[in-house]
Structure 1
Amino acid sequence: MKAFNILTVVLALFVGGLLLTSCGDEAAANNPNNTPTSESQETTTPPTQSEVASASSINLAELDSMKNNIENLKKQVCESTDRIDKYENEIKNLKEQESGIKLYLLISLAVGIISLVIAIVSFVKASKFNKRLNKHGNDIYNLKQSSDSRFAPVSRQNASDDFYQLKSRLKILEDEVKALKRPKSPSYDDRISPYIPKQPSAPVPIVESKKGYFGQPAQADRGYFKSFLTTRDSEARFSAEEKNNVANFEPLLSSRAELETMLHTDAAKLAVDFQGCSLQEATQATVVKPGVAKFEGNRWYITQKALVALTR
């Protein structure tokens, strides 16, 4: 910019010099003293006062115009200098704005990186918290299932059979004791007991177990199955083996679809207790203990739920 200012001043001085030179030439041409020698020799008449006055007025007018031109050039130079300063200030402001924008971009980038790091740390902590929450939920569920299975009602069919057997044996022993306590007769005939043919005992009917299926359990005052199915159809959800109006049942888990149906059906929980992982994470299931249902009236009431272990 300084070089441009110097060049402008030099150019202005050069133009002013040209104007002064041209004015000097014109003054010399109008001066009668510069006429050729021959003419001065031929005409020796001196110039009049009017001619000298007119020449002086012409020179003053040209000098005034030159001064005006120089003043105009100075004004133009000053205006050019002002514009140059203005442009320099604008360029300086633009550079300052550019540096401010760069600083703003750096600050924004730093804030973005910090926000990303905070988001990643928060996500990791949330995932760990969710895992711990699921683990505690599974532990609570397993404790609940174990407590339910511990205090679940036990079938009394075997206990009642043992009771009746003991009762019958006790009656036989009482009869034998009474027979021994009877007084003996002194006569020989009385001592000989008459022959009494032994009545053939009636054959005890053998009740065979019957295999079948149960559908989806329902809820009344307690869980129950509506009917005992002899053939497997689309409604079958449990395999069962019935004997003396008591049936042991297990959930059907031979396919993935049957497992999904059991896990996502609320009615299945009336007949099945789960242990292991949560229902949402389970991919495999194993029957640990079959359930028990007893026929009463026209329904099969669930007296003991089946226990199923779930694994991921």
Structure 2
Amino acid sequence: MSVEEPGGDREREPDGDREQEPDVDREQAVTDEVLASFAKTADPRLHQIMDSLVLHLHAFARDVRLSQQEWDAGIDFLTRAGHITDDRRQEFILLSDVLGLSMLTVAINEPKTPGTTEATVFGPFFVDGAPEIPLGGDLAHGAAGTPCYVSGQVLAPDGSPIPGARLDIWGADEDGFYDVQYPDGHTAARGWLRAGDHGEYRFWTVLPTPYPIPHDGPVGDLLTATARGPMRPAHLHFKVTAPGYRTLITHIFVAGDPYLGNDAVFGVKASLVVEVGHYRDTPAPDGSHGAGAWTRMGFDLVLAPEEIGF
């Protein structure tokens, strides 16, 4: 095959084995024709997005000299991702996560308000219609794991409380599985509650553990082919909403987890890492769990006002 040194000329080989030189004019004509097809797009933002998508996608194909077989493999990959996606599994979000696109989108859109809680990836396991629990209630719903008492306040950047904020929380059990990964359709380690009059929140769940993202599908095949691991460090998911404030999507991560520096979806931020207290045969703050092992995490959630730009 031909060899090309940086800044040098391509070595010449016999005509039968010579790598075909790109027909730049023909390739550019294809790109120009596609761009022209979007010229009458009424929505200027859609027009901008489609033009940029075409330019970057075509530039990628030219840069790697994409073969027909590689194009076929890419289409097959996306087809398999579509087939495995259903109302309980979202392979395309998973793909976005492992490519870093999810975290890049978070970084682009995150408000610049000082002192607010940093955002991270949404993940593929959020479910609408999770059960409501009372303040201080148990959203584990029988999930396997060490009981964990989680508490804190929902606050504005100036430190004032945000009473009545809604907190949706979901996490994995001690075996590293979310409820939606089980075939019986049960709900566990998932629920939502309202913050109290002083912005306080508290609930019981199970201590999160590290787990692999689903890797029995095309995204897993991609990780294997690129010598990457599927593991995520232990964490709980939060979605926090309140009138007048931007929705916060974040995690709290368990301090000391071995995968904090090697998260398959690039979601770890130092400000979200939380120390865990471990207790045995000691009453919890609500007077429960006087016998046996339990754990505790505390974390305040600071929301950005809607009117603050980014």
When normalised by structure 1's length, the TM-score is: 0.20
Q: Which has the larger share of helix?
A: 1
TM superposition score normalised by structure 2: 0.20
Larger Rg, first or second structure (1 or 2): 1
